[in-house]
Amino acid sequence: MYLFSMKSFFRIGLVFIFSWIALSSSAQLQVAASRPDANYEAGEMMYFEITSPTWGPVDYVIRYDVKMPPLASGTVVVNPNTPTKIPFVMEEPGSVLCSVSKNGEFATGGAIFSRFDLEPIEEEPADFDNFWNGVKAELAAVPMNPVLTFYDSTSLSETYRINLGNINNRRVYGFLSIPKGIPPPYPAILTLPPFGNAANNAPPQPIISEWGGAISLSISIHNSEPDVVDPNSYLPNNIADRDGIYYKQAITGAIRAIDYIFSRSDFNGTDLGVAGISQGGGLALMTAGIDHRVKSLAQTVSALCGHSGHRYDRAAGLPLYILDSRGTYGNISHEDSTLVASKYYDGIYFAKRFHGPALSFISYADTISPASTILTAINQLDEKGIIMHSIRLGHDNPMGFWDMRFEFWRKTFPAMDTNPFPWTLHTTGYDADAGNDIFISTNGTANLSATVTYNGAPLNGLSAKWMVVDGPGKVSFSSPTSYSTNATFSQSGTYTLRFVATDTPNLNTEWEFFTIYDFVKVTVN
């Protein structure tokens, strides 16, 4: 009886705490797009809605990102708990942030316009591939010379410190975890670190070995052990020289880590994924594009995308190369050189070179990695994927982050369904299939049929859309918002079509939704 009473008291306490949190969060200054999914078309009128528990004036400013000039600004008077609308029209594809302030309180909301039409602002360098092939050759001339020392052991995994040879007389430092209790060979996941030089910025990830039955390699991009501060982190960094940008040795470090994984006899030789958050998400995207041994990508609020944006007063992700050039050097010649050099480190151009499944997390209220920069990169991908859209989350991991990653990995690498953890779920999450590539004769009709599943079960009735990614002519769909449709083509050639389904189970409670997509090629001959 005593135990029951204590449990009841504990539950009541939890209910009170969570209720207080919910009431507190709803009793704050807030701003959000009036449409729940915050998605609009370019040229369409939208509204940001401001709510506050108290009466008074609220200042607002709408921008492409927090470093750019205002697109609109002003002051409105709000009544308690009554939405006040701010009208706004965006005439081109992109994302905006609306920041509001009132008596020392601040809030930010975001919106997206014509997200499937987002494209790179500038063309990629003509010698992009030649440059990176040269960098890989430079790395290949450096002996790998792996050094492993024991770090930790549990009943489910064994972890080691590891360091490997890298360019510029540097080493790649990290942690390697190996599953216990299940026989090799194993898949492998390489984790790239978020921004920072603090100790433990690239911690070991034994959870991937224990819950996923995979070799887990987590690396730092600095020239010291991951749990030690590198006093020279991010230095030297000549942002006006493609060979002098600090991230060059970060990318070679990731490639060298992959070299090491492929050298291990307990790796299964094929199933390699890369993952990362923020800076790590951008590095994972870049690594996936530059190293064709990578078979899956999991990126979260990725930085390192859209560097050219600030040249044109548009959004750009960290690091802010153009603004850094202006603030430090202040001359157009240096800015021009920085613009050119930074293109070799822009995730948008790497994305088109990755041909595998991708799991992406983005936030519309992200002030560090603007949503449009990540979506532009995602638009370059050409294989199936899943996007989790968080409407109100900032630069952070969404709820369900780990669960979705493991579901994605189990779907992509079925071997990860076998692992040491005795209570692991076996779910595989979302998946879309647009069907096999199709060949039809001129003036023929392509019969398209897509499926969407969740944990292997059909997920019918979702909002869906077929669209043209590229092709030489026009495409007409008989039923563009159905899973199955017929398509006709105005002229011969090869067309890439995208199927997208949208699931909104938590849109009105967690302010998030999911898009699941796949591609099919139709050749008209």
The pLDDT tens digits of the residues spanning 476-502 come to 999 999 999 999 999 999 999 999 999
What pLDDT, in 10s, does the model give residues 421-437?
998 889 999 999 999 99
Amino acid at 267: F
Residue 64: count other Cβ atoms within 10 Å of its Cβ: 24
Cβ contacts of 503 within 8 Å, gap of 6 or more: 430, 454, 459, 462, 513, 514, 515, 516
Amino acid at 121: I
DSSP three-state, residue 440: strand
Looking at residues 201-225, what average pLDDT do you find? Answer: 96
Inform me whether the pLDDT recorded for 108 exceeds 60: yes
Inform me whether the pLDDT recorded for 14 exceeds 80: no
Instruction: Among 23-37, 102-116, 131-145, 380-394, name the one with the lowest average pLDDT.
Output: 23-37
Residue 10: band (very low, low, confident or very high) from pLDDT cuts 50, 70, 90: very low
**By percentage, how much of the chain surpasses pLDDT 90?**
90
Nearest to 446 by CA among 524, 390, 515: 524
pTM for the whole structure: 0.93
Residue 27: band (very low, low, confident or very high) from pLDDT cuts 50, 70, 90: low
For 323-338, the three-class secondary structure string (H helix, E strand, C coil) is HHHHHHCCCHHHHHHH
Inform me whether the pLDDT recorded for 21 exceeds 50: no
pLDDT at 270: 98
pLDDT at 425: 87
Looking at residues 155-178, what average pLDDT do you find? Answer: 98
Residue ranges and CATH numbers for the domains of the chain are 25-117 (2.60.40.10), 128-417 (3.40.50.1820), 430-524 (2.60.40.10)
pLDDT at 24: 41
392 sits in the region (left: phi over 0; alpha: psi -120 to 50; else beta) called: alpha
pLDDT at 343: 98
Tokens for 434, please give them. 């647009």
pLDDT at 7: 32
Inform me whether the pLDDT recorded for 103 exceeds 90: yes
Instruction: Among 19-23, 60-64, 166-170, name the one with the lowest average pLDDT.
Output: 19-23
Q: Can you give the length of the chain in residues? A: 525
Long-range contacts of 100-103 (CB under 8 A, 24+ apart): 100/29, 100/31, 100/50, 100/58, 100/59, 100/60, 101/29, 101/58, 101/59, 102/29, 102/52, 102/56, 102/57, 102/58, 102/59, 102/78, 103/56
Angle of the 247-263 helix axis to the 279-290 helix axis, nearest 10: 60
**By percentage, how much of the chain surpasses pLDDT 70?**
95
Tokens for 145, please give them. 């010379």
pLDDT at 401: 81
Residue 506: band (very low, low, confident or very high) from pLDDT cuts 50, 70, 90: confident
Average pLDDT, the chain: 93
Cβ contacts of 150 within 8 Å, gap of 6 or more: 158, 160, 161
C-alpha span between 203 and 220 (Å, rounded) = 9
Query: Is the bond leading into 185 cis (omega within 30 degrees of zero)?
Result: yes
Looking at residues 150-159, what average pLDDT do you find? Answer: 98
Inform me whether the pLDDT recorded for 17 exceeds 70: no
Angle at 216 between CA 213 and CA 219, to 5 degrees: 170
Residue 22: band (very low, low, confident or very high) from pLDDT cuts 50, 70, 90: very low
Inform me whether the pLDDT recorded for 258 exceeds 50: yes
Residue 397: band (very low, low, confident or very high) from pLDDT cuts 50, 70, 90: confident
Inform me whether the pLDDT recorded for 299 exceeds 90: yes
